[in-house]
Each structure stands twice: as structure tokens, then as C-alpha cells.
Chains A and B, each alone.
Chain A
């Protein structure tokens, strides 16, 4: 079964602290994984995808096929990072399968 799991509904950290948002997946085949972010009152927007191996706004995510994980990390959280973060898997038919989402709250 194709599934994405984000175990934390809410992650609350202080500004400057490291952040790790967890994502595990279940997929038979080569997965394409994404992190989408939704800031307050805004649309879902792509943050990063594992294929490009880039760092966006200081965030990185590494695909670990052995652990079937794609955790999102940032060494020093900023207040403007507060948002809802969704991990998503692209199936071979193109549809996205989303996790439940994690609300990141960065306190001053």
C-alpha cells in the first residue's frame, strides 16, 4: 500500500533551535518525494523535492530508502518558518499521496 506518515501533528521549537519534521513512506518502487508548505492563509506550495537535492530557505531533506524516510531538517529555525508542512509521495500515475501534515510553531 502507498502511504505517507507524519507522526507529529505539532512541533513547537524556539527560534534558533534545530528542526526535524519526520516523514516515513510506504511504496513499492522508486519513490518521488516532496515537501509542501502552507503558510497561514496561503496555498500549498512546493518547498523541495528529493530529486533536486537542493536546500530551500535553509531546509534540506534526504531520502533514506533503508529507513523509508524523508525527514525535513533545518539547523536554525526562524519565526517565519511557522507553517503547516506536508510530506507527499508521487505515485507512478502522477497523483500525490499526502501525509497528515505537521504544524511547525517557532516561538520567539
Chain B
């Protein structure tokens, strides 16, 4: 059964550095999402992407964040200048119908 994949599984970075988190959604899916979960808190929506553009973004998704679908398979989340509070688990998801399928997540630690 096809699955959403994410790389890397863990990333440690210094505050102020740029990070790119990568996702490969399920191949025939049309809608893509990023969520994050800070340790001990709920899973929060960041952004949704459809037809090569952002369809919705949350208040968290400020100018430091960007998303891209550089080719037919990858979907990336870039954080330009990381802050300590960006430390979290980042989940990618994709769907075609009502059900969103999640990737295993990338654990980001900003030092």
C-alpha cells in the first residue's frame, strides 16, 4: 500500500539556520498539508497546498515558512531562519478524498 514518506527523520540545527523538510506524498493525491506538533501539545495545521499554490495557511505560517512542490513528487517545507520555538515534530499529509494520510514525521530540534 502506498505511503507518505518524509526525510530526514531527525534534524538538529542551530538557531538562525535554514532547514528544508522533505515529503513525498502518495502519487495520485492532489492535496498536500504540513502540520506540526510541539512536544506535549496538539497537532497543529500549518499550511495546505493544491494545484501548485497555497490554499490555506495558519497564523503560525509566517514569512519564515515556505512550501514548494519542485517536481512531480516532492513537497517541501522550508524554514528560513529557525528559532528555538520551531523545535517540533513536523508531519506531512496528503489526500485525494476525505481521508488524509500522514507521513512518519520529521523531528526538528533547534539549538
Contacts and interface: CB of A to CB of B under 8 A. Distances in A.
Contacts, number: 52
A2 B11 CA distance: 32
A101 B42 contact: yes
Contacts of A81: none
Given A93-B56, A94-B48, A43 B102 contact: yes
Nearest to A98: B43
A53 B15 CA distance: 47
7 contacts: A43-B103, A93-B48, A95-B48, A95-B56, A96-B93, A99-B42, A101-B43
Contacts of A99: 42
A57 B47 CA distance: 32
Given A94-B33, A98-B43, 9 more contacts: A44-B43, A44-B91, A94-B55, A94-B95, A95-B48, A95-B56, A96-B33, A96-B43, A100-B42
Interface size class of B (residues with CB under 8 A): 20 to 34
B98 interface: yes
Nearest to B43: A98
Contact of B99 (A42, A46, A93): A46
B48 A98 contact: no
Contacts of B44: 98
